[in-house]
Amino acid sequence: MDENNNVVNPTTPTPTPATPPVDKTFTQKDVDEIVITRLSKERAKIYKQLGIEDESKIEDYKTRVSGYDTLKQEHEALKIEVAKSRKVNVLQGLNADDDFTDYLLGKIQGDGDEFIANAKKFLETNPKFKKDTYRQVNASVDVNNGNAYPELDKMTTEQYLAWRAKNKL
């Protein structure tokens, strides 16, 4: 019976002990190559976004960008100049004295309609800044007629000295 009962047991493979994964170490050269590769991919992506086919056109792009910055600065300066010019025109339209324009521009706040309203209000409450407020006075008038001074610019030196002595000036 022993002969007939020869049952063959399937052999199960014996598990081999698992070897832990080996950590890969990189040399400095390997790291440098990885960084260079990644940088070149990113650079190519940026060039594509900017519409630059190759690196030789970068200088042209830099020139265009710096030209844009210059134009932008000039544009901002012109906007400020135009705004000031409009404010000066408003002040002239409100009969403000030209001698006080810079002072009034610094004093009156706002832009556009707000500036106009503020300028009207300021000039109404401060009429001394209007053109008609000041009158030119002839300061060189004759003393004998009840006026302050004779026409000094028409006197000779001798006449002037005599006049000063007479009036004890």
Tokens 């002595």 locate to 165
DSSP state of 75: H
As a whole number of angstroms, the distance between CA 75 and CA 83 comes to 12
Residue 3 lies in a domain: no
What is the domain extent for residue 79? Answer: 28-133
Please tell me the predicted confidence (pLDDT) of residue 114. Answer: 92
Is 166 contained in some domain?
no
Evaluate whether residue 142 is within a structural domain.
no
CA distances from 115 to 44, 58, 105, 107, 112 (A): 52, 46, 10, 11, 5
73 lies in some domain? yes
- Domains: count for the chain: 1
User: Using an 8 Å Cβ cutoff, are 140 and 151 in contact?
Assistant: yes
Q: Is residue 61 part of a domain?
A: yes
- pTM (2 d.p.): 0.44
Q: Which two tokens stand for residue 158?
A: 């001798």
> Does a structural domain hold residue 60?
yes
Tens digit of each residue's pLDDT, the chain (169 residues): 455 555 555 566 565 656 666 677 889 999 999 999 999 899 888 888 877 777 777 777 778 788 888 899 999 999 999 999 999 998 888 888 888 888 888 889 988 899 999 999 998 888 888 887 655 555 554 445 554 566 777 778 888 888 888 877 6
Q: How far is residue 165's CA from residue 168's CA, in Å, rounded to a whole number?
A: 5
Answer yes or no: is 161 within a domain.
no
pLDDT score, position 169:
65
39 inside domain: yes
Q: Alpha-carbon distance 91 to 119, whole Å?
A: 7
